[in-house]
A and B are shown apart, each in its own frame.
Chain A
């Protein structure tokens, strides 16, 4: 109990009027309560440093900066602490008995390892999470979101990660293609990525205007690390099975140089799902030279090539037969599991940073970053063979049940249970058979490639006008050259090659994928199918003032800039001969942002925080072009012609408001926030096979000008009830919905579609999609967590949480929510159309709620001033089976065929779901020197 009171005592700093400005205090060991000698106490942002004496005491009496300051208390072997204090002229600030925890290890970082690494942001899932963004947060809610909710694909405030900005040394890492950070570009380098500065939500960042979810800057300056080396080995059954990491950081050496190196490897033949191989290497080097007191130069290179086998979403029928580890993408070949869908990313990053301290008050940070490399996703093409997918609907029992063929249904079921994987032997056999007749390969394995070169140049200027006002500004230029093409990876036994035509095209003159070389046979490692470049230029700047006063802190920021995109077709596509080759329209967008916020300190314990912002931002490349593999079209332009009834493509508009009440006492820290965010005028493009009353074929569905409204509240509470025991709880209750009925149109270069619909697209299948009030599939809209962390004085600790999730919705197919759904070919409703049946068919599926229990614990030993430690975590301990997401298949897009399908006991084209992992583990051991 005594210790408890000391903590309470410490946090209330004492300020006494005095003739001289003095900052003093003492530092004690949190557990033993004994004074600690030799602790460095630093007033951050100034050059004022002191060390504690044998009584643990320190004293500053000269050159102290006034106003709100942060002191940093650190000693090797202890966990450092930072305290906000207020230094006023001619007053004494006395902070007695600052408790320092012996470094068992940083609990936070241990959690981080388990999750950011897991790469939960699988681009296939369409569900994304931002655990990486939030993991550095000190806020209990955000930490819970990052570590407990992320495996459920929870999204903070229901927003996509393109609303959160990730910077490394001030250089923006979010991809211009989709706005999201590509975590795997720096995966496996956890130890050197721990210096993260997170600005939550709209709160000001020193580096960038930021997004509405927040901004994280990962500082990888070599001088920012202390002298340390570490070897870590981990074992897991989540995504990889093994991980080995080594790092060494030199700290600032006497000669002004600093070095930081790290290498890591993560590998495994199979993660939780079948055949999800993982093979990744990571390298990191950062070198800094402090030229003099004002100038430093830092060079960093990061290279993390990564290769992973993907896993598939499945229909309920498939899960029922094969379970949640089932993956349709693989098959046996020569005794090995071969996965056809491999995602491979190799995109090294190089950056040069110059840091210039201009006097005591200002700094100018200039950065040049260059990233180049390739990213590819492989898949099977079956132009000359039957669909190799084991879950192709004609392979499943449901298809035979539909046709009342019970014996075949049984055969199909047995066959699927016993085999149910890709038959590579048959694929090779088909190609070898075709060789005999000189026929084109029936199957090939190819990669959708995206090779980017991106240059970023920016300058970030910060100046303290006075003790109360800081001004930040930056100017940012980005230039992207993106090559996109199909790359033939494996001819699978064919020696004839692959005739580069679209075999579904009726008219042979339209069939070539490139009419310049109409009868070309493609071979391994060659480009085929499609080939185009996208050029993008972005110029942005921002200006921000941060004002800090005794009762109130506030900020105001504005940003502005331009974004340009241009597509250049390198193939003259047979289906789009006048609209595919050469340069397309140059698209220009204007970016603008403004935000303002304030924190009002009712007292040291009670704070009110308000933030609001408005942003107009260019649509991402992905949401701009509608069928970039084949033509120049973008939203609102069909077949090269501006569609009269569709608004011209324009910027996305994001508005956000949040209000928080923060309570901070020595025991309890809590935050309650209400938020209101709208994202308006966004476009979505999706690709699939549609079979509707008057339409058949592979199509692009374009949703134009969709609005979304996200409202809700977040609560985070943590209570240090004992020095060793912390209780924590978090909740997020939101409602994320579409708030308008956007326009939808479908385009296709399928001959079938064009022939039946001569003025297709706009007239026939375009129309309003009645989405208003449908839920956006953004993970669980309600999430709750309760748990504890126990730290024993004898260097072991453990924690447990129970997490409960609700309001999880299936992603709906917008095309079934158009008038086209119930109109027959002649434009009048189906004669058997019943609105009440339709309502039932179009009702959005809500998944069952569920609870996930996670455990984590560890121990460490100090041996000769070195540390050896381990920790283990068990995720989903109760092995709860739950769906994390899914989507409706758009294939049955009209009333009759959907009704037909939905009435079956086993649907042929039912929704496809993702299931979460069952019980899983992560084990980590390390040696630190």
Chain B
């Protein structure tokens, strides 16, 4: 009967389709070689560093800043195989940093930090807070992203305005390497009155801080500001208040959150404001604001 022929055909059909069926299915897993290239490149860099007398050297952030100062605070290109190592302190997860990350020299008790200007968005999911990074500086620039903004940074090229530009996508890939290490950053405990230029880029924590009374009830960003909003923090140091500025980008996702009324600790990154005039504190996220205890009292 024909039916049996048909059944044979079906079997043949099933068998042949199993054999030839090679369409990509949906079953994708984490790519096998993920990060391999970066690890290899980093390993190569580290090998070069630990091979004596071949011109590869670790440099300190201080060293880079000194070079900039000695160059009459003009951008300069780094000619040697210098390598900088640091730990990421900033995060653009909430949109408060834009095309930049800050790194500091140590995960605990840091001495100095520096900005790295990157042509990249959502860097938080690549250069996460606490991540150990190595930057191969040869061919990169040290300078300010905006002329006289007072924040020394590493960039990818020089511009005519006396500043430096961000590292291009390819420069990031070729010169900035992440190691496998993620450290938990211990914020540097400081007081408002102690903050100096040397704290720029560091992850710092202030205790007994609060927002000034006149702005309580307002939001992190003043709706009339175009780019950045400044909110004044204060802290009781003895019998007087010491003020400090919290600067928040109008693009930060927490821009409309209300300023907390209480007092407590606040943790963030020290930077210069946009104009390069004042030192300010910049938040990674409002989770770092713990103003849930009473406001501080001045000593009598």
Contact = CB atoms under 8 A, between A and B. Distances in A.
Interface of A: 227, 229, 231, 242, 244, 246, 248, 250, 259, 261, 263, 265, 267-269, 277-279, 281, 307, 333-334, 336-339, 342, 384-386, 408, 411, 415, 424-426, 428-434, 436-437, 439, 442, 489-490, 493, 503, 506-508, 929
A250 B256 CA distance: 72
A248 B31 contact: no
A437 B125 CA distance: 9
Contact of A336 (B24, B33, B34, B168): B24
B70 interface: no
A16 B34 CA distance: 88
Contacts of B16: 244
B23 A277 contact: yes
B122 A429 contact: no
A338 B125 contact: no
A508 B125 CA distance: 21
B105 to A, nearest CB: 21
Interface in B97-137: 120-122, 124-126, 128-131
Given A333-B31, A507-B256, A229 B9 contact: yes
Contacts of B22: 267, 269
B194 interface: no
Contacts of A338: 24, 28
B13 A428 contact: no
Interface of B: 2-3, 5-6, 9-10, 13, 16-17, 20-26, 28, 30-35, 93, 120-122, 124-126, 128-131, 168-170, 182, 253, 255-257
B256 A506 contact: yes
A714 to B, nearest CB: 40
B18 to A, nearest CB: 10
B255 A415 contact: no
Nearest to B120: A386
Nearest to A508: B257
Contact of B23 (A267, A431, A437, A929): A267
Nearest 4 CB-CB pairs, A to B?
Answer: A430-B125, A248-B6, A279-B23, A386-B121
A430 B34 CA distance: 11
A248 B9 contact: yes
Nearest to A437: B128
Given A229-B2, A334-B32, A503-B253, A268 B23 contact: yes
A432 B34 contact: yes
Contact of B2 (A227, A342, A437): A227
A425 B17 contact: no
B15 to A, nearest CB: 11
A231 B9 contact: yes
A510 to B, nearest CB: 10
B128 A334 contact: no
Given A248-B3, A384-B122, A508-B257, A434 B30 contact: no
A237 to B, nearest CB: 15
Contact of A250 (B2, B23, B24, B31): B2
A268 B22 CA distance: 8
B31 A424 contact: yes
A268 B33 CA distance: 26
B128 A434 contact: yes
B10 A263 contact: yes
Contact of A433 (B17, B20, B25, B125): B125
Contacts of B5: 229, 248, 929
A165 B120 CA distance: 52
A244 B14 CA distance: 10
A254 to B, nearest CB: 13
A437 to B, nearest CB: 6
Contacts of B170: 411, 415
6 contacts: A244-B13, A248-B6, A384-B122, A428-B34, A429-B34, A434-B128
